[in-house]
Structure 1
């Protein structure tokens, strides 16, 4: 069971979470015509009167951009102001996750994006570790990542997550923790809700945007951190067979942060993961506002 934060933002008002409800006839429920965001918040370890948000501006901008695919004009500034007020209303005291969501809010059955009401809500829930911090096992999914020619993959559109859900359940029901999806060209794309990196011979590789991946904010952060730490990061297509012989493989995302991969299919990966651990330690320090070089990535909210 999740512990939801008590106050939600719904239909332009802050109301009790339990009262924030939509109709069973809501358009987005039937057609996946929504776009989601997600970001973590933690109490400031150095100041209990503040909450720290990681790269709030980027998260708000991505949701604003995603909303354009729904023909919905909502500014990043509006989203940011709402999230800040949402935190102040809830006064969270533990690590939590925020879910802002834009969607087609009319009641009806015609699939369309024109001449239909759009809306925006925000809720949150307490969230510690999303996955085991020691790492996860993965299988190669039989489901393929969508292609940008038929789906707007530059947006975080809710309908896309049917594929993620199928892949995740397939992985868990076959004895693994997580799924790795290939794209339509048979190259590595991403995990069910995370981007993927591999390490070979001291270099870091990750699929580029042309491999039908999500433009992950944590991915972007990891790439910048790796470069600053002196590692070469190369964006290129990755073959399935490279996963099995990699020195290290790790996943990253808002909920999971930086997550080591222990095994892929029946191939166990090396137990020594120095680059993954260095990146994870650095990332954690930044999110806790312990690294002055990256203070502009951390947005403090005073309660």
Structure 2
């Protein structure tokens, strides 16, 4: 693999996508490529994404179930694969609120850019404290997302999720849930969390996972999480 030392390497100018591959099938590939193309337009990167090359890479892989990563910058188009660790467990997640505040006015946070290390760093800090991931809130105290997933809450059988303008990535699995279930997109404040019965997170590899704890707030319910997980099984989650 040859990597060019362009602005993607030097300054994080570029975007990436992570796609779940099941039995040689890239799940929700169209949605991932649509988001990737929009991000490349945002960065001013005029590179054509050839879907046929992605499919050829998947077909040539000895493994049929894995996580595919697409990385694009001015002079690079890179495909890599790794084990899909989410296939191994269905644990409930414990989250801790990050001390870092999301800047909802930053255009960068609405793209899966190569400047991703803050998410990684906060995730590792959460792990070191005995939690499974970090939850970001913005400068106004509005809930955004975790270090690697979107988040949903349930109250009285209704599903809620933070609005995009709070400062979060428009996830492909988030889109799927909103399109297939009745979901209310609202501003959700940190102080509101104690009023919810259930919480779950979503991304393109895990599907959905239940949340049992955010700081000292306990969530006992799992009904909506279980319902969506059953529906996602037909896709290979």
Tell me, which stretches of 5 or more residues in structure 1 are unaligned? 1-19, 44-50, 105-117, 227-231, 290-303
Offset of 1:130 from its aligned partner?
A: 6.8
Distance (Å, rounded) in 2 between the aligned partners of 1:152 and 1:33: 10
Offset of 1:187 from its aligned partner?
A: 0.2
Tell me, which stretches of 5 or more residues in structure 2 are unaligned? none
1:277 maps to which of 213, 226, 233: 226
Distance (Å, rounded) in 1 between the aligned partners of 2:68 and 2:60: 13
Greater shift after overlay, 32-41 or 130-139?
A: 130-139
Matched, 1:216 2:175: no
The 1:131–1:249 alpha-carbon spacing in structure 2 relative to 1, beyond 3 Å, is farther
1:36 maps to which of 4, 11, 16: 16
Distance (Å, rounded) in 1 between the aligned partners of 2:100 and 2:125: 9
Deviations 1:160-181 (A, max 9, x none): x222123212211222111110
Distance (Å, rounded) in 1 between the aligned partners of 2:213 and 2:62: 40
Matched, 1:234 2:212: no
Superposed counterparts of 1:1-303, under 5 Å: 20-22=1-3, 26-43=6-23, 51-76=24-49, 78=50, 80-93=51-64, 95-104=65-74, 118-129=75-86, 132-147=89-104, 149-159=105-115, 161-226=116-181, 232-270=182-220, 272-285=221-234, 287-288=235-236
RMSD: 2.0
TM-score (norm 2): 0.92
Distance (Å, rounded) in 2 between the aligned partners of 1:211 and 1:29: 29
Give structure 1 regions of 4+ aligned residues with deviation exceeding 6 angstroms: none
TM-score (norm 1): 0.73
Distance (Å, rounded) in 2 between the aligned partners of 1:283 and 1:224: 13
SS in 2 for 1:193: coil
